[in-house]
Structure formats: structure tokens, C-alpha cells
Amino acid sequence: MTKRNKMIYWIATIWLSLGMASTGIVQLIKMKEEADMMLHLGYPLYFLTIIGVWKILGVVAVLIPKFPLVKEWAYAGFIFVMSGAVFSHLAAGDGAKEFFGPILLLILTVISWYFRPLDRKTDVVINRK
């Protein structure tokens, strides 16, 4: 892995982790603005706890060494949660301000996943015949 790619990976991963952890904490404490947004989108408030826990666990999985398969699941979960947020805001008719956070976290997820070091990748080989 080149020094450039390593820097890209760590910058994206740190920003992704900060974004997911901070929003996860806000969801776990059920901050009023977050609860209001969840109701605006038409979801029950208990989703805040579920999504908050998933985000925190995903951050832990992405940051700890080893366990590459768990990291793949965490990255996939981040994609599911953030793409769900984007489409939920679209369905609710929200403006660009509400899309910015989820889209930024989606982009950071893809960049972090793409530039991750070899020791953080699964070594699953697909046998094609």
C-alpha cells in the first residue's frame, strides 16, 4: 500500500468514524431534534436506539485490527443505513440540507472501504470455472 493510499484511507476512516459515532450517540440519547426528524420521516422512535447501537458497533468494527469479515459487514451496514437515510429524506420531500450528512457519510464509507489496507480485507477467493 502506498503512503498516499494509506493517508486517504485513514483520513476517510477517521472522518467516517467521527460522523458515525457522533450521530450514533445523538440517536442513542434521543436528542429532541433527532427524535423530531425520525417522526418527520415516519419511523418509530425505537429505531433511534437500533441505528445508534449499529453505528457505534460499526465504528468499533472498522477501527479495531483484524476481523476483516466483520469490517465488511460494518461497511455494508453503513451503506444500508446511509442510503436508507437518503431515500427516506427524498420520500419526505426534504431539501439538500438534510441530504448532506448522509451523502457525505456514504462517500466516506466507500472511500474508506476502497482504500483499506490488505490486512483489513477478506481473502475470500471466488472460484470461477
pLDDT, tens only, 17-35? 999 999 999 999 999 999 9
Output b/e per residue, 39-60; b: 16+ Cβ within 10 A: eebeeeeeebeebbebbbbbbe
Ordered mean pLDDT values, 10 residues apiece, the chain (129 residues): 93 98 97 96 96 98 92 96 96 92 97 89 59
CA distances from 16 to 23, 41, 82, 124 (A): 11, 23, 12, 25
Residue ranges covered by each domain of the chain: 3-113
- pLDDT, position 125: 45
User: CB neighbours (10 Å) of residue 61?
Assistant: 19
- pLDDT, position 66: 87
- pLDDT, position 46: 96
- pLDDT, position 121: 80
The pTM assigned to this predicted structure is 0.89
